Structure 1
Amino acid sequence: MSKIKVLHISEPFVAGVYKYIKDICHFFEGNAKFEQHVIYSPSREGTSLEKIEGDFKNTAFLYPIAMQRSISPLKDFSALVQIHKTIKSIRPDVIHLHSSKAGIIGRIAGRMYNKAEIFYTPNGYAFVRQDISPLKQKSFFFIEKYANVLLGGTTLACGDTEYDLAKKIGPSQLIRNGIVPDSFGDLPKVSQKVQTIGSVGRLSNQKNPQLFNKVAKCFPSIQFVWVGDGELRHELTSKNIIITGWKPNQEVIQMVKDFDVFIQTSLWEGLPFTILEAMALRKPIIATDVIGNKDAVEHGYNGFLCSSLDDFKNAVLQLIQNKSLRNKMETNSRERVVELFDQNKNFKELEMVYSSVK
């Protein structure tokens, strides 16, 4: 029996989308039933060709094709032509699209080929972004809606709230993002007091470092740590904040182990791996009450979901003042990530989806 050829297409090939595709390809490594291919754009800032080649060695065939995030008719048409040509040469059985730009261009190219089942994982719909106008949000929603009507395909939502949105657009299925909970070495001991509160990510509009800074200013005796860097580094002005810059993954994990509380102030998300990893390391989570975060954090169980600065202040105070609550949330975080976000269990569901095409 011939292998099932799976082709992934993504415009962003950094951060969470990169990790998601990399993890899928590693999960299927050595599985004689499947063959993985990846079309990606090397255009995004932060894309490292050397890292990509190392991470995907022996797991996937790679095809760099320039795409850009914003709408550009000429460049989008050029990308479409190249993607269609590459699809015809690969002859995939499955085309799995990742994020909005690939969700449109890839679907058009896939329908032109018309010999593969098409699946689409938004990893955070563009119309939930909070850095664009309401008019653009509505426009992006209608683009998603009518792309599905005209071009078809099945959405594989990465989280429960994304799944709720996907069902309003067209055929959909829930395949949660996941991590390997036991891949982080020894678990840290339960915290005795709150001394360090930290976050991980790019200092960008999406991650809302302004709010992180405001929370830090409210608790000058606590050390706040931002693991990462970015164009909004200057927004973190509070004297009790340390910005570490970008670090290798193993160093990041060790830093998160040293946090007493994990905080996340994003304006929007898909389903953030950073929160899942912090949960696996038994951290109580304080996060904004937005799509993605709501999938990982059950308010009052393994953390708090917040809609304002006052909510964040109250959540931090509760964890400072109530050690038994904090320790219970630490345990609950670990249990929740093992139950719902175990990569091996969730990707077996993905394997069943891919297998259904033959």
Structure 2
Amino acid sequence: MRSKTNKLSVLHMVSSLLIGGAERFVLDLCQQQRSDGIKTQIFSFGRKDDPLVSECDALNLNVIFNRGHKFFALARIHRILRNVDVIHIHSPHVLKFIAPILPLIGQRKIIYTRHGAAPLENPSWQVLHKYCEKYIHTITFVSEESQQIFSTHHGWHNKRKWVIDNAVLLPEISGAKQVNPDRLSLGSVGRMIDIKNQINLLKALVKLSPEVREKISVHFFGDGPCLEQLKQFKDENLPEANIVFHGVINQRDQIYSTFDVLVVTSETEGLSLAIIEAMASQCAVIATDVGGNPRLVSHENTGWLFDYNDSNSLAKIIETCINDRKTVSEYANRSKAMIEENFSLKNCANKYKQLYLN
């Protein structure tokens, strides 16, 4: 049922408001949709002190939090869902929680977006997705690889599937980015979990000579279960290296202005929002040749690609960056131009609006 204001109303459902690519994307999408005349809200299954909650407050984005015993929580969610036009689910964990009430919410359109490429091949996920298929109107993916993996493991062959690229609100940047010619600053942005494999960046630094390492600073942004492992590796193998663990930082301009080159070491990626944000902020990118990364990073044009877990190749690329700062700057400028041309949030929001209305 269309809201009384006759505005299309959309509820975006996320597992948390921790800092991650999917969560960042939802905030950006809500802002764009609001400017396009759509009424948006966010329903979070996370905590009220999650880092992005304060950003939602600053942006005047309405956030509803899950609360109470599961039975009463589901009853409350049921009431909320029946008062919106579109339910946009951004996490399989959200889908799992609300699965019992899917048959009860009436003719609401449900969009399910898979932001990652992980196969979710555990039998419990197989059963869940088989059950939920008939209630989902459309499933979207952020990369062709994500769609192919999902189709292989879960089927849904008669379900409408769309690949819609992630996008970002483009930052305002005037003039060329200032770089320090005497020091190369590398950045790593994201949750510190096994699949992100940030330790491979530290292993690559070990392979460089002390004289080369003196010309490098490394900035880690994020938190997660692998943080202590990274710190311990640094203390044991790179005690003199200039490596900074910044923790969780909300302001993207503060993150991407800190370094010249983003390094992505992940085992798999959908369409990395960190890469899109870095390129939009005029950074070159070094990334693993996996998932959607090659769609974003053109090897030796906007950055460099290397094989997953290949610290030798990563070390050679880093040394190349140190020795040829002009090329790094050229790649950074091309990166920004490519994102402006191909990953406009306005275009992304229009594609979702078509799905909401059709």
Give TM-score, length-normalised by structure 1: 0.80
Q: CA RMSD in A?
A: 3.1
> Using the alignment, how far apart are the partners of 1:66 and 1:214 within structure 2?
43
Unaligned runs of 5+ in 2: none
Moved more, 179-188 or 304-313: 179-188
Among all aligned residue pairs of Structure 1 and Structure 2, give the percentage whose two residues are the same amino acid: 22
Q: Which residue of 1 aligns with 2:140?
A: 156
Alignment-mate amino acid for residue 21 of structure 1 = V
One-letter amino acid of the counterpart of residue 354, structure 2: M
Taking structure 1 as reference, are residues 156 and 5 closer, same or farther at Cα in structure 2, changes over 3 Å only?
same
Cα deviation 1:268-289 (Å, max 9, x = unaligned): 3343322112111222211223
Paired letter, 1:124:
G
- Equivalent residue in structure 2 for 1:12, among 16, 28, 32: 16
Could you list the per-position Cα deviations for residues 49-95 of structure 1 after superposition, in whole angstroms to 9, with x for gaps in the alignment? 861651452x44x321149xxxxxxx76665444223223x2x2211
Matched residue type, 2:12? H
Distance 1:81 1:212, change over 3 A: farther
Q: Which residue of 2 aligns with 1:24?
A: 29
Which letter maps to 1:266? S
> Aligned to 1:342, which of 338, 341, 344?
344
CA distance in 1, matches of 2:148, 2:172: 30
Matching residue of 1:268: 268
Greater Cα offset, 170-179 or 313-322? 313-322
- Counterpart in the other structure of 1:83: 77
- Post-superposition CA distance 1:141-167 (Å, at most 9, x none): 634652454433311212343244355
Contact 2:22 2:90 in 1 (8 A): yes
Q: Distance in 1 between matches of 2:46 and 2:144?
A: 30
**Mapped partners of 1:167, 1:82: distance in 2:** 33
SS in 2 for 1:7: strand
The 8 Å contact of residues 262 and 283 in structure 1, kept in 2 or not, is answered as yes
1:65 aligns with 2:66: yes
- 2:112 alignment partner, SS class: strand
Query: Which TM-score applies when normalising by structure 2?
Result: 0.80
Q: Write the letter of the residue equivalent to 1:257.
A: S
**Paired amino acid for 2:190:** G
> Who is 2:221 aligned against?
227
Report what 2:289 is aligned to.
Answer: 289
Query: Take 2:300 and 2:173, find their aligned partners in 1: how far apart are those partners?
Result: 25
- Kept in 1, the 8 Å contact 2:25–2:168? The answer is no
Moved over 6 A (4+): none
- In structure 2, the residue matched to 1:208 is 197
Which residue matches 1:277?
277
Match of residue 309 from structure 1: 311
Q: Tell me, what secondary structure is at the counterpart of 1:29?
A: helix
- Which residue type is aligned with residue 8 of structure 1? H
Instruction: Give the CA deviation at 1:121.
Output: 0.9
- Asked if 1:199 is matched to 2:207, the reply is no
